[in-house]
Structure 1
Amino acid sequence: MAQTTDAVPGAHAASPQQVPARGWWQIVRRAFRESSADNVSMLAGGVAFFGFLALIPALIALVSLYGLVADPAEVASTIEGLSGALPASAQSLVADQIGSVVGASNGGLTLGLIISILAALFSASSGTQNLMAAINIAYDETEGRGAVKLRAIALALTLGAVVFVVVAVALVAVAPVLLDGLGTAGQVLGQVVRWVLLVGLVVVGLAVAYRVAPDRDAPRFRWVTPGSVIATVLWVVGSIAFSFYVDNFGSYNKTYGTLAGIVVFLLWLYLTSYIVLLGAEINSEAEYQTERDTTRGEPQPMGERGAAKADDAVDA
């Protein structure tokens, strides 16, 4: 186990805010080195592939749950707002799939609907399990949870993701109606608040994933926040930049023809997965920067914290 000294900036930090700028520079540099050592680029490809396979089951669960409180057709009409940062070909792919799922939805709460929702969540959770495995690697943890517990956590995270999208769709669908009666200034302010809330939901969702996914004693929320914020910012900027490139400079339609939408969407999923895993690496290295206990509960000495990064600290 490495020992820290006062020469390490942030060696005694009780929160990420107490780590000085020089310490954060070290954290970010190590995070990129570790992402290369952990083969995050390949891990992101696997997560993107299984995420793509989980897309349709997740959409089925999304539309079914949304249909219990509102018209499922609203999903199709508001998806454009949620996927605005995607390239046009990827937007049409997602919209087409949602349209087909909406067309098959009856919107009523029946035993068959409940079974179909559970089946869809179970299928979609396989993609979540792959994300959990990748986050484990980012935190230098070895998976030791039983199959039942692992699946239960994956199901809970998948359901949480679906509920998140339902809330996001509701924000996109309901906000314009509420803002119609306001003046220009009120509408602009309302739009800003709406998107700030959406970004905030993404940050919270990532923080929960970083805290629950790895097989370790859970870190305090303050130690999963930096990676969540950085990953969210990178994801928003990266998605917009990727969309701009594909729509203006890419030649995917010429190269892949009718498969262009699928290829572009897979590339966007790859970009998303890489950024999410990079956020986990940043959180991991932030914990490694301090010798203070970063896990929940009463502070424990190094070696007894149940987490690889919390049980060690960087050398000077």
Structure 2
Amino acid sequence: MTKLAFLARVFKNVWLQIDERNLSLIAAGVGFFAMLAVFPGLAAVIALWGLVSDPAVVSGQMELMRPLLPPDVFELIKEQVDGLIGQGRSTLGWATVVSVGFALWSARAGISAMMRGMNEIYRIRNRSSLHHYTAALVMTAGLVGVSLVALAAIVVVPVVLNFIYLDVTTASYINTLRWVAAMGALLAGLGIIYRFGPNRRGERPTMIVPGAVLSVTIWGAVSAAFSAYLTNFGNYNEVYGSIGAMIALLVWLYLSAFLILLGAALNAEIERQNCGGDGERQKP
């Protein structure tokens, strides 16, 4: 089989899996729980940062994220961050406990839904409830660690550079490297999901790079297209009123979750074709 024919078969089967494995429905569940985790997660970040430095720094550095997010989504998150910063430190202290707990619960639920989606893609039965819950918690903790690395690269590094004298060339290199580090953290997070999400017996999936690259590439294009749509054509506020920005955020999270699952489907199909078969369901 030629390489072109191989790729054609892979992408055809991935396309068929979107409907057969209910990827759109699973992505909707992941997007919902991600929505629940976003704002408590923001409150936790602001509160924790406020214990060691000025929380307003986070608001200033958030401007760097503007090109990556749809306009309505960015403004909604920015407004929430500014509101949290305006609260007193005592309020932020209490917010830390509550927000961290709720954010972790919501993130765990989203990861759990994602793992079930991975099992569908790899045609594997789900784990027992306790095993599945524990695995989801461990994966959530790992992804939180990766997120903190990305946050440090984007937010903390510029703050540190303000206290260090560097020539223009060196500062430019460091600024470039921090975005490379953030992108590396994103790919590492996808690698964790793709490798440890499926309930595979024995050897874990090794084919993770194609799906990660596909997800990140299409995610960038889709985010840009969604931003252009919201700016020029879509006006969620006219249809949904005051919750229009929330709906835009939910749609963006849904699209992001769908693309992660699409990357997993690509990895699974390449692995399946390399093994010369369509694969059967495994028992956990």
User: Structures share a fold, TM > 0.5?
Assistant: yes
Quote the offset at 1:272 in angstroms. 0.4
Distance 1:93-1:159 versus aligned 2 partners, 3 A rule: farther
Work out the CA distance in 2 between the residues paired with 1:251 and 1:113: 34
Work out the CA distance in 2 between the residues paired with 1:275 and 1:176: 30
AA of the residue aligned to 1:41: S
Distance 1:181-1:117 versus aligned 2 partners, 3 A rule: same
Percent of aligned positions that are identical: 32
- RMSD of the alignment, in Å? 3.4
- Which of 163, 175, 189 aligns to 2:145? It is 163
- Superposition pairs of residues 13-24 of structure 1, within 5 angstroms: 20-24=3-7
Q: Is the aligned partner of 1:25 residue 2:8?
A: yes
Partner of 2:136: 154
AA of the residue aligned to 1:276: I
Work out the CA distance in 2 between the residues paired with 1:140 and 1:76: 44
Distance 1:122-1:238 versus aligned 2 partners, 3 A rule: same
Q: Is the aligned partner of 1:42 residue 2:25?
A: yes
Work out the CA distance in 2 between the residues paired with 1:189 and 1:234: 27
Matched position secondary structure for 1:140: coil
Quote the offset at 1:308 in angstroms. 4.8
Is the Cα contact below 8 Å between 2:108 and 2:136 reproduced in 1?
yes
Matched position secondary structure for 1:84: helix
Quote the offset at 1:39 in angstroms. 2.0
Partner of 1:205: 189
Q: TM-score, normalised by structure 2?
A: 0.82
Q: TM-score, normalised by structure 1?
A: 0.75
Work out the CA distance in 1 between the residues paired with 2:201 and 2:116: 16
Work out the CA distance in 1 between the residues paired with 2:65 and 2:90: 22
AA of the residue aligned to 2:257: S
AA of the residue aligned to 2:187: V
Higher helix proportion (structure 1 or 2): 2
Q: Is the aligned partner of 1:273 residue 2:238?
A: no
Q: Is the aligned partner of 1:93 residue 2:76?
A: yes
Aligned residues: 280
AA of the residue aligned to 1:257: G
5+ long unaligned stretches in structure 2: none
Distance 1:133-1:107 versus aligned 2 partners, 3 A rule: farther
Distance 1:243-1:231 versus aligned 2 partners, 3 A rule: same
- Which of 33, 36, 40 aligns to 1:53? It is 36
Work out the CA distance in 2 between the residues paired with 1:234 and 1:96: 28
What are the Cα deviations for residues 3-42 of structure 1, in whole angstroms up to 9, with x where unaligned? xxxx5x6xxxxxxxxxx45423322221111112112122
- Which of 222, 226, 231 aligns to 1:238? It is 222
Q: Is the aligned partner of 1:126 residue 2:109?
A: yes
Work out the CA distance in 2 between the residues paired with 1:245 and 1:115: 36
5+ long unaligned stretches in structure 1: 1-6, 10-19, 293-301, 312-316
Distance 1:49-1:123 versus aligned 2 partners, 3 A rule: closer
Compare 131-140 and 158-167 and name the one that shifted more: 158-167
Work out the CA distance in 2 between the residues paired with 1:44 and 1:194: 30
Quote the offset at 1:280 in angstroms. 0.8
Quote the offset at 1:208 in angstroms. 0.5
